[in-house]
A and B are shown apart, each in its own frame.
Chain A
């Protein structure tokens, strides 16, 4: 074979055999959980106008799309995420529908990325969006659904870290930072560089405040850290964020899922996108998050409808990888439970028998 035929473009994958069966099983389980919470599935186009994604996820993120020109000369992009497509649909087609709207999706997304650990250019996202409610019920609901989905596919030892955009923004407002300084600060907090953060704060705050902020942005753990955080912070925005976190955590405790939830006050991921509660999902055996979500109350206004929304997505690739060892043996394989029929002699009777067996649900293989 010539090398151009055997060469596979970086970032794409061919999946077959057991891996396919595991992935399809996991996908069905998760979508079934979403359906159980009255989320209805929406099937979205593989590509759309590039501008749509720039509007939805921001210009810089949209740089990562695979783009091409349509026959009409317009710039198109393979979908890098699903939420922009859902948001546009809600803001147009579902404008008059009853609220809240609950939608779920499952499909491949495409992102050009520098070669990085375990990052494909094509990967499968399963997620949901809850549109039209700015209340904690909605935030709590999606969190509980995420946990049910993980449990359903048998992932154990997972941890969801809860954060709140308002907490860090309250600090940034208090320090009266401009946009560039904010983004520098978010980077430092994201890497948890305590010494650098202290250095960064030096021109903006006295020693006591610096010490408090350094402590606050590395605080993570159970409910008690909220009490400590409250004793260290004075601005209203941050306090309101802590109250939100406390209420959601309280519900999680009441229904007994708090062992899977930690609060992480230093979570600054997606600050330009999310507007309230955020969460990331980690599981034993994986060095990176297998899902994430949060509240994004500003996105729909980009599409002409100012409405609150919250949602999350899971990476099917990671879910399948973590479930494979446990799930694969329980799934019907390609070679077991098969009735083999020889295709010699009278073909009509061979296929008649095969059809009869199929009608009883038996797996057949004509050899």
Chain B
């Protein structure tokens, strides 16, 4: 293995990430994404890509197993990983919101009683309620968080919203936007110095790539559907 290793998040951000690399002149051999290989080298043999679950990208990078990675700011905030974040890649926009049933939005949360909140983001949620001085009871779920508010398991949910459709379809409303998220390039602190030339080269390539790609939609529309097969 030569060069630097980049961890990519499977799923939501994968196609746009690969499209940005393609646009920046870093391409993967044909068909490699159709295989089940988790570690692939690009055509120039300078970059190794690993495909991991989105929440694991900061972990791989913080430990230095991967020198760099691409993941959403939401995931990064939740992990609180100690890494550099030199580039906002601008695609993969979504919001992390506090949501609930319409009547809960009108009432707001009663600051004297612990709010019961279901989420996949316990750290961000706890921070948010702490900032507002409201005690919080966290219910940590791994998916379909909306259901918790619909069925009354929790008063509120904190979850990622792209279009807001899932919330609407389930009769929920946004109460507050906690954070906005886009994809970030993150870099391991040791790699930043030990592989300085390669890391700087990567940052420059992607920054230039972003500039010539213009709007994030361009990257998103260029994304190839072939990579859908690498899924969790």
**Interface residue ranges, A against B (CB under 8 Å):** 116-118, 157, 159, 161, 191-196, 218, 220-221, 262, 264, 282-284, 286-289
Contact = CB atoms under 8 A, between A and B. Distances in A.
A264 B62 contact: no
Contacts of B196: 220-221, 262
Contacts of A118: 63
A284 B193 CA distance: 10
Nearest to A116: B82
B191 interface: yes
B69 to A, nearest CB: 12
A117 B194 contact: no
Contacts of B188: 287
Interface string B1-33: 000000000000000000000000000000000
A157 B193 CA distance: 11
Interface in B183-205: 187-194, 196
Given A116-B82, A194-B86, 4 more contacts: A161-B193, A282-B194, A287-B189, A288-B82
A192 B64 contact: no
Contacts, number: 58
Contacts of B191: 287
Contacts of B61: 287
B137 interface: no
A218 B86 contact: yes
B80 to A, nearest CB: 8
Interface in B35-94: 59, 61-65, 82-88
Central interface residue in A282, A287, A289, by most chain B CB within 10 Å: A287
B84 A192 contact: yes
A175 to B, nearest CB: 21
Contact of A282 (B63, B86, B193): B193
A264 B196 CA distance: 11
Given A191-B85, A218-B86, A288 B190 contact: yes
B190 A194 contact: no
21 contacts: A157-B194, A159-B193, A161-B193, A191-B84, A192-B84, A192-B192, A193-B88, A194-B86, A194-B87, A196-B88, A221-B196, A262-B193, A282-B189, A282-B190, A283-B194, A286-B64, A286-B190, A287-B63, A287-B189, A288-B190, A289-B189
Interface residues of B, number: 22
Nearest to B186: A191
Contact of A117 (B62, B88, B187): B62
Contacts of A117: 59, 62-63
B85 A288 contact: no
A218 B188 CA distance: 15
A224 B194 CA distance: 18
A195 B193 contact: no
Given A117-B59, A287-B62, A287-B189, A193 B86 contact: yes
B85 A193 contact: yes
Contacts of B190: 282-283, 286-289
A157 B59 CA distance: 24
Nearest to B182: A195
A59 B113 CA distance: 31
Contacts of A218: 86
A194 B90 CA distance: 13
A195 B206 CA distance: 14
A218 B187 CA distance: 13
A288 B193 contact: no
Nearest to B191: A287
Nearest to A269: B189
Nearest to A286: B190
Contacts of A220: 192-193, 196
A262 B87 CA distance: 22
Contact of B88 (A116, A195, A283): A195
B194 A192 contact: no
Contacts of A288: 62, 64, 82, 189-190
Central interface residue in A157, A193, A264, by most chain B CB within 10 Å: A193
Contacts of B63: 117-118, 287
Interface in B106-154: none
